[in-house]
Amino acid sequence: MNFEKDMRELTEIPALSGHEDKMIAYLLKRLEGLCEDVHVDKLGNITATYPGTEEDGGSIAYFAHMDEVGLIVKKVEEDGFLRLERVGGVPEKVLPASMVDVHTLDETRTYRAVIGNTSHHLTPADKKFAVTPIGELYVDLGCKSKAEVLEKGVDIGSVVTYIPNFTLLGDYVASKALDDRMGIYTLLYMAEELGKTEHKATIHLIFTVQEEFNIRSATPTFCRLQPDAAICVDISPACDTPELKGRYEMAVGEGVAIMYMNFHGRGTLGGLLPNPKLNAFLEKTAEEEGLKCQKEVVIGVITDDAFTQHAGTEGIPMAHLSIPLRYTHSLAEVASRRDVEDCAKLMLASACRFGKDIDICRG
């Protein structure tokens, strides 16, 4: 793996929830020669399976989502401006004056565009400190009419994504879609290493779709596989910036976090209470490997494992690894290269140690 090259490639690929085909094609190409058993289900989830050395060595899955947040065109105005809806948790406050890519309805062409922002000189006082709601935002494609927009192949249903912007910040990186291309990077790292590393258990690497939209699209894969355990790899908001300092114990550069509880924070979407023994197994593995780790409890975050833990006939013991991330869901998220690489090492080490002899039973 080449961190800079691979992360640049991964973040450049547009993969809005429900529109992950370019990413699916990229990942299938990367897995060629690295895994003999690759499966793509009808939703687009990819599973790469590596048989264990023991006939009854058990099975464990590692999974991360390939999609990203973005926008979709809901209306083309007669004067050529595009009206939008959010796909996933896009923060409206970051959108005005943002550069975006508008994709044709068939997703074969892309046009650079800008999300409009009222001219500063003419902004009324009561609007200067207000967040513009999604219903008032629009995309300027440089077209003078609806007919000109349609002629370009853009229409209702066209997707709009943040522009690629991968940048090195010393030991840190900044980019759109680090959530969860960092997790995808760790799975590709495992894919490269598992073919030359002995492991007792059968290992499934799962690249999931539509996490940012409905969080549930990985469930059929887990119903099909029903592994003995599973570990989700995603991000968690870092709280080491001035406005969030101290809110939660999560800092960029301090290692991957082992999650003890997450929860959406409202309604019935729920979250994950991980298997305590699986968490202890990860902590012991990290200690033995000399890898720095954090502990995480956070409200306001939820991901695939909230629902995949209920898959199958008996449920699946779950744990969750979080890579700290600043400025989540924005056009420029920031993370530590070291945290990503340590997460990948912990995943591989735990996969090589896992087997039927690891006690994760309850009670």
Catalytic residues: 211
Distance CA 338, CA 14 (A): 25
Q: Please give the DSSP secondary-structure letter assigned to residue 326.
A: B
Distances in whole angstroms, Cα of residue 2 to Cα of each of 5, 116, 182, 186:
5, 37, 13, 12
Distance CA 105, CA 245 (A): 42
Distance CA 57, CA 189 (A): 22
Distances in whole angstroms, Cα of residue 160 to Cα of each of 15, 81, 164, 181, 274:
10, 13, 12, 18, 35
Distance CA 60, CA 40 (A): 18
Identify each DSSP E strand in the chain by its residue range: 37-40, 46-50, 59-65, 70-76, 82-87, 99-103, 110-115, 138-140, 159-162, 167-169, 172-175, 202-208, 229-237, 256-263, 271-272, 293-299, 318-325, 333-336
CA 41 to chain centre: 19
Distance CA 351, CA 356 (A): 12
- 3-class DSSP state for residue 74? strand
